Amino acid sequence: MHLSYTPEEEAFRAEVRAFLATELPEEMRDRVRSGRRLDKVDILRWQNILYRRGWGAGMWPKRFGGADWTVFQQYIFDEECAIAGTPMQLPFSIKMVAPVLMTFGSAAQQEYFLPRILAGEDWWCQGYSEPGSGSDLASLRMAAVRDGDDYVVNGQKTWNTYGQYADWIFCLVRTQSAGRPQEGISFLLVDMKTPGVSVRPIITLDGEHEINDVFFDNVRVPVQNRVGEENRGWTYAKFLLGHERTNTAGIGNSKRALARLKQMATTSSVGGRPMSADTRFRDRLSRVELELTALEITNLRVLSAMARGSAPGPEVSALKIKGSEIIQELVELQMHVLGPAAIASLPEVPTSGQYFNLRKTTIYAGSTEIQKNIIAKLVLGL
């Protein structure tokens, strides 16, 4: 099914493709397409390339240094980048903490942090989940006690992504224990070099170091690093999660995975026949391709509503659920095509490590169970 765009949007797509063809370093593209991990240097290098082009933050307002793109321009850009095989732009800085700072931060915070985020000078990570406080985030316990012009912070954050690279972490902390749990949370910006901050790696099933525990032992954080009002952090946290969940459908990445799967199916054989000739395999492949098309149509409907000024609603939860399931299905089918070779670490093809790593998609940014609860409450009135 062909999805139509305006002539202006198609012209923008052509501009993005031309930029990627000339500016995306070949070694970066090859590493992404082959499923090999990029390091901090690669990711920040790509951010700097975009920054020099004026595309460091597509949908940021121009007054903050952004390109002031429409939601459709951002969607086209993300899709073309995924298909081309670019490194990711750090979502924790560009798409999470930055919108919070633009909306709720002080002028001093905006003037200091936003240009550094845009130029890739600071690497940010997220401090939300705690042991026992993941899906039930309002139960978090990490305490921040006011002491003069500082907060003294003690506690632990877990499932922290790329904290080993981070310069800064944005944290939800408990500044009040009385009343409803949501009413005693504040939003702090913490320099990772502050004495008392320590990072302990969590090695995942794929053998990689991507996530961490982060410990805070009498960490002094200036009050000026609090975003907005004390005890109003839950409001800012929900605002941030709304931005996070609008970017989790992963359609561009799934399109790239689908194209790779089709290529693999024509070159891999079982019993002397290509996998693409297997009826049951073709049925699964056709079904997931149709589901991906339906997901894209639904996503474009959401973007159309946003372009008219509507805030993202519970349909974002449906995008998150289906997008997670589709990418997992695609990688599982790649494992079927590879057969016993899937256990080998082959640079040309996805590995079992990727398969295990992508199990997380139905957990992060709100688990599938949480998303279903949101739909049940806001759509079905349950």
| pLDDT tens digits, 226-243 | 999 999 999 999 888 766
Q: What is the pLDDT of residues 59-92, one digit of tens each?
A: 999 999 999 999 899 999 999 999 899 998 988 9
Instruction: Give the mean model confidence (pLDDT) for residues 193-217.
Output: 93
Q: What is the pLDDT of residue 160?
A: 96
Structure-token match 């609008």, residue found? 246
Handedness of CA 208, 204, 334, 291 (dihedral sign): negative
Measured CA to CA in angstroms, residue 218 lies from 147, 198, 204, 233, 268 at distances of 11, 11, 29, 21, 57
Q: Which of 129, 117, 140, 131 lies closest to 47 in space, CA to CA?
A: 117
Which pLDDT score is estimated for 3? 62
Domains and CATH numbers, the chain: 7-89 (1.10.540.10), 124-232 (2.40.110.10), 248-378 (1.20.140.10)
DSSP structure class, residue 231: T
Rounded to whole angstroms, the Cα distance separating 363 from 253 reads: 18
The dihedrals phi and psi of 139, each to the nearest 5 degrees, come to -85, 10
Distances (CA, A) of 134 to 139, 169, 220, 234, 324: 9, 17, 25, 14, 18
* CA dist., res. 227 & res. 105, Å (int): 5
- Residue 1 confidence (pLDDT): 45
- pLDDT at 30 (0 to 100): 87
- Residue among 186, 187, 169 at smallest CA distance from 126: 169
Q: Could you tell me where the beta strands, DSSP code E, fall in 223-342? A: 226-227, 269-270, 273-274
Average pLDDT over residues 248-267: 88
Give per-residue burial for 112-145: e unless 16+ CB within 10 Å, then b.
ebbeebbebebbbbbbbbbeebbeebeebebbbe
349 pLDDT higher than 50: no
Burial class (CB in 10 A: 0-12, 13-18, 19+), 207: exposed
Q: How many Cβ atoms are within 10 Å of 161's Cβ, its own excluded?
A: 17
Q: Which residue has the higher pLDDT, 353 or 32?
A: 32
Q: What is the dihedral of CA 15, 18, 20, 22, to 10 degrees?
A: -140
**Which of the residues 80, 130, 210, 244 is marked catalytic?**
244
Whether residue 190 is predicted with pLDDT greater than 60 in this model: the reply is yes
- Which among 121, 117, 89 is positioned nearest to 102, based on CA atoms? 117
Active site (annotated) includes residue 26: no
Q: What is the DSSP string of 305-328?
A: HHHTTPPP-THHHHHHHHHHHHHH
Number of H helices, E strands in the chain: 13, 10
**Closest residue by Cα to residue 155 from 221, 93, 110, 106:** 221
User: Mean pLDDT score of the chain, rounded to an integer?
Assistant: 89
User: Which burial class, exposed, middle or buried, applies to 380 when counting CB atoms under 10 A from its CB (0-12, 13-18, 19+)?
Assistant: exposed
